Amino acid sequence: MLITFEGIDGAGKSTQIKKLAAYLKQEGHEVLTLREPGGTEVAEKIRLILLESRHEISPVGELLLFSASRAELVSEVVRPALAEGRTVILDRFFDSTTAYQGYGRGLDLNMLRTLIAISTGALTPDITFYLDILPEEALIRKFSEKSLPLAFENEELDRMERSGLEFYRNVHQGYLDIIEAEPGRFKSINARHGVQEIHACIVKTLKERLQDRS
Ligand SMILES: Nc1ncnc2c1ncn2[C@@H]1O[C@H](COP(=O)(O)OP(=O)(O)O)[C@@H](O)[C@H]1O
Ligand SMILES: [Mg+2]
């Protein structure tokens, strides 16, 4: 089973993935947790290029780097793990490309669809948890986590985080459109709820989906 988490930076993906992985392991699942971009030696190198804050990268260059990283992750790690019957949890997958490079950077959505199909070999998650939060609030969380003042110019933010509020507003709208187009795959959860409450909702949803399958 492939489970993915989506949402803007600061929504609580990493927090929930950690809890879900622990829960599933305790339930006897073999769990593999991976993040995008990254997850293989080559993909982690691409991650460094993408997030290093002093790099200027064109939108198309950014798209292709994310896609290259994804292609490596899917073919080298995700598909083999799924074939072995493991549960794979991904911190971001191709919906992030639609939201960030499509809605955020303004690249053509049809072109993105083609590239996503190429880089994933059309691999689709069984379920995608979307943690919904307003960009303003999510960024306040991120900044306070790093004990930084609310300023996008800050050197300690990564390249994506420095993209500014307008960018994040477009990304947020992108996610809403993506979910509307494919409601069956997504479970959207209000990320302002407590950590435990969100975790309980995720577990309940997964149990329901697993029951529906058997
Ligand atoms: N439900 C929540 N309510 C309040 N704060 C949260 C919640 N979930 C996560 N956080 C905090 O918000 C920050 C961002 O969470 P994180 O899990 O790193 O988000 P992401 O991985 O989506 O960027 C962290 O400081 C985390 O402790
Ligand atoms: Mg995270």
Q: Comparing C-alpha atoms, which of 66, 80, 97, 70 is closest to residue 32?
A: 80
Pocket test for ligand 1, best of 4, 6, 9, 15 (most atoms within 8 A of CB): 15
Are 12 and 35 spatial neighbours (Cβ–Cβ below 8 Å)? no
Instruction: Quote the domain boundaries for residue 171.
Output: 2-213
Rounded to two decimals, the pTM is: 0.94
- Check which CATH number belongs to the domain holding 98 and give it: 3.40.50.300
Q: What ligand has the least distance to the C-alpha of 202? A: 1
Tell me what pLDDT residue 61 has.
Answer: 95
Q: How many CB atoms lie within 10 A of CB 70?
A: 28
Tell me what pLDDT residue 153 has.
Answer: 67
Tens digit of each residue's pLDDT (9 = 90 or more) over 83-100: 999 999 999 999 999 999
What is the distance of C-alpha 169 from the center of its chain?
A: 16
Tell me what pLDDT residue 53 has.
Answer: 74
- How far apart are the C-alpha atoms of 143 and 163, rounded to whole Å? 14
The residue whose CA is least distant from atom 6 of ligand 1 is: 12
The count of domains in the chain is 1
Tell me what pLDDT residue 105 has.
Answer: 96
What are the average pLDDT values for consecutive 10-residue runs of the chain, which has 214 residues? 96 97 97 96 95 88 97 98 98 98 97 98 98 92 76 72 87 98 97 98 95 80
Three-state secondary-structure class, residue 3:
strand
